[in-house]
Amino acid sequence: MLDFDTAQQRLLDLPIAAIAVETVSLQQALGRVLAQDVVATLDMPSADNSSMDGYALRLQDYVPGATLPVQQRVFAGQAPQPQEPGTVSRIFTGSLIPDGADTVVIQEVCKEEDGQVTISEAPTLGQNIRRQGEDTRAGSVILEQGTLLGAAEINLIATQGIATLSVYRQLKVGILTTGDELVPVGQPRESSQIFNSNAPMLTALFQTMGAQVKHALHAMDDLDATREALNTLFADCDLVISVGGVSVGEKDLVKPALEALGASLDFWRVKMKPGKPVALSSVNNVPVICLPGNPVSAYTVLAVLVSPLIRKLQGRSQCLPLRIQATLKTDKVFNETRDEFLRVRITQDTETGLLMAEPYERQGSGISSSLPWANAFARVPAVQKYTGGDRVWVYLKEDWIR
């Protein structure tokens, strides 16, 4: 069996085709990936301005106990007159600093009466002034190619007045589920059948990660139907994910259907639980990854093993999210021959401040209720005994599934 890290790296090392690039407006950029660096067009702030409401003055004009006349009132968006010696300017947050002024005194330590201001605390040079260019400098790279765009990144771009961006085209994904026993959600089912939960689950996972699900097809246990569905997916998608039907059973038809399309299947047994069987192939340079059919296993494998490849196919520079460490909160002993990815809930101990990883009571691969309950996967290394108090690596869902 392949150890987990080797399998994950093999996926990341897959050669991929050049990703198409398109231009979108800033309003359409959320969740997209930059196809080129974003370069600042101007200094930010573009001029010295006040970080507080108060009074601007030349520090050399301050004398303890003395009063200074108010020369002008400067609101944000107004151009002030140069600061005259021996005066102050009433100023507000974001107001430009008058030429000649070098200090802003907050209003809480000032008293204004009849146009005269008394300062009760000695100011220091340069206080409460945001300097031109202290945030960004024109011509500097503010966001690098491969950056996933969220609200914070869009804010930074907007401060530069940049209205359009070059981004990678959204990854187009095709999903194939197989099996006579599966019934679409909402349709009548026989007692021998189960609802097809993999299709909506995987669709939601890909949408959460910013990919476009082009097709979510289902094939009955028929070779021609399976091959036809795969042909559709390879024609329209950048990545194909199949679920189940890839073993060597009489009705496991994904493997012969792929072979009929000229693909050879690299079948792995990955040292992970849940989700040992994973297969990899490609048709016309479109990769196909075959996941185990059990929904919990398919979810786990996609989340922690396959998601780095998805990010690479999207053009992201950060393909492997960070892991954190937490302390197991349990009285059970875990000791498997494979790395076990426990569904856990991360909380913080109120006394020690430590992050605690509490496993779901039932860890069987058929326990779908564990997935919405958990907010992370805790990785317990193979062939080692772990129990409460032991430290483990944790894969937070909010980082690994986005």
pTM for this model (two decimals): 0.91
Of 284, 313, 342, the residue at which a domain comes to its end is: 313
How far apart CA 52 and CA 123 sit, in angstroms, is: 14
Dihedrals φ, ψ of 48, to 5°? -60, 135
Q: Do 175 and 284 belong together in one domain?
A: yes
Q: Are residues 203 and 308 in the same domain?
A: yes
Query: Model confidence over 34-89: pLDDT tens digits?
Result: 999 999 999 999 999 999 999 999 999 999 999 999 999 999 999 999 999 999 99
Q: Pull the structure tokens for residue 111.
A: 């008293």
Half-sphere exposure of 51 (CA within 13 A, CB side): 11
pLDDT of residue 184: 94
pLDDT score of 250:
65
Q: For residue 70, is it within any domain?
A: yes
Please report, for the domain that includes residue 13, its CATH number.
3.40.980.10
Picking from 292, 313, 334, the residue at the C-terminal end of a domain is: 313
Residue 6's pLDDT is what? 95
Report pLDDT digits (tens) over 323-376.
Answer: 999 999 999 999 999 999 999 999 999 999 999 999 999 999 999 999 999 999
Mean pLDDT of 272-288: 92
User: Can you give the pLDDT at residue 276?
Assistant: 86
Let me know whether 64 and 147 are in one domain. no
Q: Are residues 216 and 297 in the same domain?
A: yes
Same-domain pairing of 38 and 158:
yes
Task: State whether 282 and 385 are in the same domain.
Answer: no
| Whether 205 and 292 share a structural domain | yes
Per the domain annotation, does 69 fall within a domain?
yes
In a domain, 318, yes or no: no
63 falls within a domain: yes
In this structure, the answer to whether residues 276 and 389 fall within a common structural domain is no
Has residue 319 been placed in a domain?
A: no
Q: What is the mean pLDDT of residues 96-122?
A: 97
Query: Is there a single domain that holds both residue 118 and residue 257?
Result: no
Contact 101, 83 (CB under 8 A): yes
For residue 158, give the CATH number of its domain. 3.90.105.10
pLDDT at 266 over 90: no
Count of structural domains within the chain:
4
d(CA 233, CA 227): 10
Mean pLDDT, the chain, whole residue set: 95
Q: Quick count: other Cβ atoms within 10 Å of Cβ 320? A: 13
196: its two tokens: 């097809």
What does the DSSP assignment read for 310-345?
HHHHTT-S--S---EEEEE--S--B--SSEEEEEEE
Q: Following DSSP, what letter does each residue of 108-151 receive, concatenated?
A: GGEEEETTEEEESS---TTTTEEPTTSSB-TTSEEE-TTPBP-H
Domain contains 287: yes
Q: Find the angle CA(305)-CA(307)-CA(313) to the nearest 5 degrees.
A: 130
Write down the pLDDT at residue 249: 63
* Selection from 253, 259, 300 nearest residue 278 by Cα: 300
Of 109, 65, 71, nearest to 91 (Cα)? Answer: 71
Q: Is residue 115 part of a domain?
A: yes
Domain-terminating residue out of 283, 313, 343: 313
Residue 202: per-residue pLDDT = 98
229 and 296 in a single domain? The answer is yes
pLDDT tens sequence across 163-188: 999 999 999 999 999 999 999 999 99
Going by their DSSP bridges, the two strands 2-3 and 266-273 should be labelled as parallel
Distant-in-sequence, close-in-space partners of 47: CB < 8 Å, separation ≥ 6 = 96, 97, 132
Structural domain range at position 154: 21-42+137-168
247 domain residue, yes or no: yes
Counting residues of the chain whose pLDDT is more than 90, the rounded percentage is 93
Helix (H, G, I), strand (E, B) or coil at 382: coil
Q: For residues 103 and 189, state if they share a domain.
A: no
Residue 89 and residue 184 share a domain: no
Q: What is the CATH number of the domain that holds 113?
A: 2.170.190.11
Tokens, residue 389: 């108090």
pLDDT at residue number 305: 97
- Per residue in 198-253, pLDDT tens? 999 999 999 999 999 999 999 999 999 999 999 999 999 999 999 987 766 666 78
